[in-house]
Amino acid sequence: MMDQQGVQELFHSLDKFSWQEEIRKKEPLANKTSVRVGGPADLFLTVHDLDELTRLFEIIREHQCPWFVLGKGSNLLIQDEGFPGIVIRLAGDFSQVAQVSSRQLVVGAGIANIQASRIAKKNNLSGMEFLTTIPGTMGGAAFMNAGAHGQEMKDIVEWVEFFSETGEVETIRAEYLDFSYRHSRFMQTPGIILKLGLQLQVDHSEAIGKREKEFIMRRKGSQPLDARTWGSVFVNPPGDSSGRLIESCGLKGKGIGQARISPKHANFIENVGGATFQDLLKTVEYAQKEVYRVYGIHLKMEGRIIPELTSKQGK
């Protein structure tokens, strides 16, 4: 963990170079997350191209600075103390569609899921419809093998361009990405997804749009899309549904502080106004404890906690 002297030294090293966007100190992060909870980042920088990213990581390695990439802030809980290091956001080259061909789309990891899926539809390419109901970026979706409506990222990803902590860029084919339910190799491999090659199918844009509308209506009817949540809280245990287990324990509408288990869908926790990280975490633990008490099943969180909990913080 960096102390304030370390943060100042890092800032001065960064400030010696020209960046397309300013380096921000004590940047609020709560308004950059879908649940609207979390403290500030010591430093925050948006990078626009590989040259900037390479230069940034030379400095990060020199200072041994903690870092993480923030996309659209879904599937993420940031602690109230904030992040002791630098938070990176991908823009520019990393948030565009790089190539469209007859059956393939190449997209930057920073582009929003819904924007990428719209471009696919415009080009009569099918396979990304499920992503219209998943908030976040394409890099984040690949990181956790996001899925909905019977499809997952592993069904469409052909290759990924990956930037390692040491500054090396490699292209990794899908068979080496260790995709499984809400998991990929990137969860254990420090680095950043830069670009994705997607293998899609040709279809009429009208048919694609119809499927998208069906998925969106299904989500609106079953999930609290207007509430402040961070998405699905728990992965589903084998052969069952986390939402069903929580609901059957009578937990809908219950919670801690200003956090509650959604009355609409029990696998969502809502910030009903001014919730803290601890409110959310204690509500997560409350649901886990009750489900384990009744069913003997431990529910595993789907999203990430930033910074990761220490043994003294959790449970």
- In angstroms, the CA 23 to CA 44 distance is 6
- In angstroms, the CA 43 to CA 21 distance is 13
CATH 3.90.78.10 matches 224-306: yes
Which contiguous run of DSSP H or E holds residue 86?
strand 83-90
End-to-end CA distance of the chain: 22
3, pLDDT greater than 90: no
Q: Is 311 a catalytic residue?
A: no
Spatial neighbors of 183 by CB under 8 A, at least 6 apart, are 144, 145
311, pLDDT greater than 60: no
Query: Hey, which bits of 122-215 come out as E strands?
Result: 125-126, 147-148, 151-152, 157-164, 169-173, 191-199, 201-202
Asked which of 1-5, 75-79, 108-112, 233-237 is least confident by mean pLDDT, the reply is 1-5
- In angstroms, the CA 242 to CA 292 distance is 11
128, pLDDT greater than 70: yes
Locate the domains of the chain by residue range.
Answer: 4-93, 96-220, 224-306
- In angstroms, the CA 265 to CA 227 distance is 11
- DSSP code for 146: -
pLDDT for the residue numbered 1: 60
Helix, strand, coil distribution of the chain in percent, nearest 5? 35, 25, 40
Exactly one of 95, 126, 184, 232 is catalytic; name it: 232
Q: Is 182 a catalytic residue?
A: yes
Burial level of 188, CB count in 10 A (0-12/13-18/19+)? exposed
Spatial neighbors of 64 by CB under 8 A, at least 6 apart, are none
Which contiguous run of DSSP H or E holds residue 271?
strand 269-271
Exactly one of 89, 126, 182, 260 is catalytic; name it: 182
273, pLDDT greater than 70: yes
231, pLDDT greater than 60: yes
68, pLDDT greater than 70: yes
Q: Name the fold adopted by 96-220.
A: 3.30.465
85, pLDDT greater than 60: yes
20, pLDDT greater than 80: yes
Q: Is 185 a catalytic residue?
A: no
pLDDT for the residue numbered 312: 38
Whole-number average pLDDT of the chain: 95
- In angstroms, the CA 100 to CA 260 distance is 43
18, pLDDT greater than 70: yes
The tokens 């002297």 sit on which residue? 5
pLDDT for the residue numbered 310: 56
Q: Name the fold adopted by 4-93.
A: 3.30.43
